[in-house]
Amino acid sequence: MFIYIFLFVFVLGALGLVIHFSLDKKVIYKDLKNKHVVVTGGSSGIGKSAAVEAARLGAHVTVIGRDTGKLSAAVAEITANCRDKNNQKVQYVALDVTSDYKAIEKSFVSIEEKLGPIFMLINCAGMCICGQFEKTDPDVIKQMVDLNYFGTAYPTRYVLQGMKKRNEGLIVFVSSEAALIGIYGYSAYSAGKWAVRGLAESVIMELVGTNVRLTLAFPPDTDTPGFKNEDLTKPEETKLISVTAGLHSPDDVGKQMIHDALTGKTYSVYSVSGTLLTLLFGGSIDSPMQVVLQVLSLSVVRIIMVGILLSFYNIVRDGLKKKNEVKTK
Ligand SMILES: NC(=O)C1=CN([C@@H]2O[C@H](COP(=O)(O)OP(=O)(O)OC[C@H]3O[C@@H](n4cnc5c(N)ncnc54)[C@H](OP(=O)(O)O)[C@@H]3O)[C@@H](O)[C@H]2O)C=CC1
Ligand SMILES: CCCCCCCCCCCCCCCC(=O)[C@@H](N)CO
C-alpha cells in the first residue's frame, strides 16, 4: 500500500518538475504606462470596464464600436480615469468588426498611425441572441459567428504581425463559459465562442519562442447592457441553467481580465463554475501546482459535473412538460 502511495507522490513530483522546466517563461507587466491598448467593444459593458482599467494603469486607449454616441460617452469616462490626463491619449474609432479583412486592416493601420503600435488588443466586441437552433433566424446563426469569431480573428490576424516583429504584445480573447459546456438556448452563440477558444489555443502554440502572449477569458453571466438585451430572447430553461454560474459585475470582470493578461495567465476565469469547467475541459498548462491539483481532483469533479449536467437535462425536461400541459389545456 505504502509503496503505491510513495510511487504516486513520486510521479506527481516528477511531473511537477518536468512542467516547471518546460514552461515558457512568464512575461509579466506591472502597468501599461505609455502603451497603446485597443479594446473592440470598448464602448459598453465588460470592454468599457477593461478600457477604464487600462487607462488607470497609464495606457493610451483606443475603443472600437459602431455607435459613435456610445463611443464618445465611453471616451469621456475612460479619460476621466486616466492616471496622467495630460499625457495619456484616448480615442474612439467607429468600425464594424464583422467587416471584411481589408477594411479591418485599413482601420487598424490608421489607429496605429494615431496612437502608436498596438501593445495590447482586447477582443471584446460580441453579442448573444438566444433560442432553440431550428427556430433561430439563419441570418442570426451567421451573425453569431461573424461577430463572435471573425470579429476576433481578423483584428488578431492584423496585430500578430507587428507584435511578433516587435517581440512584445498581449492579446485577449473574450470567449465565455458557454464555450466550455453546451447549453440549451445558446446553440448559435456558443459555436462562435468555441471557435474563439480553438483559435486561441492554436495561436498560443504558435507564439512559442516569442514574448507575445494570449489570454483566453471565460466570463460567466455579467450584468451589462448586452446581457439585458440577451435576456429578451433567453428561454426560461437557459435562465435556470445559467443561474448556476451567478451574475457578475462588469467592473470586476474587466479589471481581472487586464490583470490576468498582464501577469501572463493563459486562462482568465471569474467564477467557481468557470474554475471547475476549465479544470475539466481546459487544455492550458499554467503551473505545476495547477496540473497536480487537476490530477488529484479530476475524477471527483467529473462526478460532480455529471450530476450537474443531469440536473440541466431535467430542467429542459420540466420545461417541455410545462409546454405540453399548456398545449393540452
Ligand atoms: N455579459 C455577459 O453575460 C457575457 C458576455 N460575454 C462576452 O463579453 C463580450 C462583451 O459583452 P458585454 O459587455 O455584455 O456586451 P455589451 O453589449 O454591453 O457591449 C458590446 C460591445 O461590443 C460592441 N459591438 C457589438 N457589435 C459590434 C460590431 N459588429 N463591431 C464593433 N463593435 C461591436 C458594442 O458597441 P456597438 O453596439 O456600438 O457596436 C459594445 O461596445 C462579448 O463578446 C460577450 O459575448 C461572455 C460571457 C458573458
Ligand atoms: C458549482 C458549479 C459547477 C459548474 C457547473 C456548470 C455551470 C454552467 C453554467 C454556464 C453559464 C454560462 C454563462 C454564459 C454567459 C454568456 O456567455 C452569455 N451571458 C453571453 O452574453
Residue 23: the pLDDT is: 85
Q: Is the CB of 242 under 6 A from ligand 1?
A: no
Residue 137 to residue 172: CA distance in whole angstroms: 30
Q: What is the pLDDT of residue 326?
A: 86
Overall average pLDDT of the 238-246 stretch: 94
pLDDT surpasses 90 at 249 = yes
**Using 50, 70 and 90 to split pLDDT, how confident is the model at 99?**
very high
Confidence (pLDDT) at 1: 83
Would you say the CB of residue 221 lies under 6 angstroms from ligand 2?
yes
Identity at 248, one-letter amino acid code: H
Identity of residue 31: D
Alpha-carbon distance 297 to 165, whole Å?
Answer: 41
Report CA(40)–ligand 1 centroid distance (Å): 8
Q: Cα of 313 to ligand 2 centre, how many Å?
A: 15
Question: Is 189 annotated as catalytic?
Answer: yes
> Mean pLDDT throughout 211-239?
97
15 vs 64, higher pLDDT:
64
Stretch among 23-27, 165-169, 272-276 having the lowest mean pLDDT: 23-27
pLDDT > 80? residue 95: yes
Residue nearest to ligand 1 atom 13, measured at CA? 45
Residue 287: per-residue pLDDT: 87
Going from the N-terminus, what domains does the chain have, and what CATH number goes with each?
33-287 (3.40.50.720)
| Average pLDDT over the chain, rounded to an integer | 95
- Mean pLDDT, residues 55-70: 98
* Residue 234 is a catalytic residue: no
> What residues contact residue 328 under an 8 Å CB cut-off, 6+ apart?
none
Structure-block grid coordinates of residue 91: 480615442
- Evaluate if residue 101 carries a pLDDT over 80: yes
Catalytic-labelled residue, pool 92, 154, 186, 189: 189
Q: Pick the residue whose CA is nearest to atom 34 on ligand 1.
A: 41
Share of the chain above pLDDT 70, in %: 100
Which residue, judged by its Cα, is nearest atom 42 of ligand 1?
A: 126
User: Pocket of ligand 1, candidates 49, 124, 234: which has the most ligand atoms within 8 Å of its Cβ, to mutate?
Assistant: 124
pLDDT tens string 137-157: 999 999 999 999 999 999 999
Torsional class of 58: left (φ above 0), alpha (ψ -120 to 50), beta (otherwise): left
Q: At residue 228, does pLDDT exceed 80?
A: yes
Mean pLDDT of 240-248: 94
The letter for the amino acid at 309 is L
- Read off the pLDDT of residues 164-218 as tens digits, 9 standing for 90 and up: 999 999 999 999 999 999 999 999 999 999 999 999 999 999 999 999 999 999 9
In whole angstroms, what is the distance from residue 293 CA to residue 174 CA? Answer: 25
% residues pLDDT > 90 (the chain): 87
